[in-house]
């Protein structure tokens, strides 16, 4: 509806293979969707997460922020789709898909897609897939931290932008504890 808002805060911390599919249709003028996703893939796990926001109403706003971490031989794929329909003048579609790999055998994909059928809009996307910054690791380890603890700190910082968006403190704490468990249980010596 007009000026409606939905805020998604999603955490994929399961141990099995999954496909997640989340869609928001911004029909009303001035409607707004914020989708925040964190995911950790471990072992031989395969996760595919598709997030779509369709801007139909004028001046509607759709933002997607997805950050994921891959350990061991796991696979994580983020597909983000921002679609601005013809007639959605003044719409805004933004997305960021980032994947951090902690293993040479991990596989990650970040696929932002913008479908724009209107001229008078704002739209943008960013994507990255990469490994932990060796300079960050060197700095932390030079301060006496083990490699595993240093990696967990870097990952916490990487996922922090999404975690900070979860409004319920108890849920945020539970998700943080689950992330810590996955990182400890999922790490292996290289």
Three-class SS string for 3-30?
CCEEEEEEEECCCCCEEEEEEEEECCCC
Task: Give the number of domains in the chain.
Answer: 1
Three-class SS string for 24-56?
EEECCCCCEEEEEEEEEECCCCEEEEEEEEEEC
pLDDT of residue 142: 95
Across 122-126, 135-139, 167-171, least confident range: 167-171
Nearest to 178, CA basis, from 42, 47, 50: 42
Strand order in the sheet with 107-116: 18-26, 46-55, 75-84, 107-116
**Cβ-contact 34, 8 below 8 angstroms:** yes
pLDDT of 188 > 80? The answer is no
**Of residues 89 and 185, more confidently modeled:** 89
Integer-rounded Cα radius of gyration of the chain: 18
Token code pair at residue 7? 């805020």
Contacts for 67 with CB less than 8 Å, ≥ 6 apart:
37, 38, 39, 98, 99, 100, 158, 159, 161, 162
Domain that includes residue 58, residue range: 5-186
At 185, give phi and psi (nearest 5°). -70, -30
pTM for the model stands at 0.89
């Amino acid at each position: 509806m007009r000026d409606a808002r939905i805020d998604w805060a999603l955490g994929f911390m399961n141990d099995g293979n999954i496909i997640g599919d989340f869609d928001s249709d911004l029909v009303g003028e001035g409607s707004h969707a914020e989708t925040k996703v964190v995911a950790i893939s471990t072992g031989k796990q395969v996760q595919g997460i598709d997030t779509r926001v369709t801007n139909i109403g004028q001046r509607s706003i759709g933002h997607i922020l997805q950050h994921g971490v891959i350990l061991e031989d796991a696979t994580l794929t983020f597909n983000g789709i921002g679609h601005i329909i013809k007639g959605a003048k003044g719409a805004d579609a933004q997305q960021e898909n980032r994947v951090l790999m902690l293993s040479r055998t991990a596989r990650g994909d970040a696929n932002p897609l913008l479908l724009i059928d209107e001229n008078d809009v704002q739209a943008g996307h960013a994507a990255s897939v990469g490994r932990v910054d060796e300079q960050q690791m060197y700095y932390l380890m030079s301060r006496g931290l083990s490699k595993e603890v240093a990696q967990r700190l870097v990952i916490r910082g990487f996922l922090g932008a999404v975690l900070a968006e979860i409004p319920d403190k108890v849920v945020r704490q539970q998700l943080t504890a689950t992330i810590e468990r996955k990182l400890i249980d999922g790490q292996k010596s290289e």
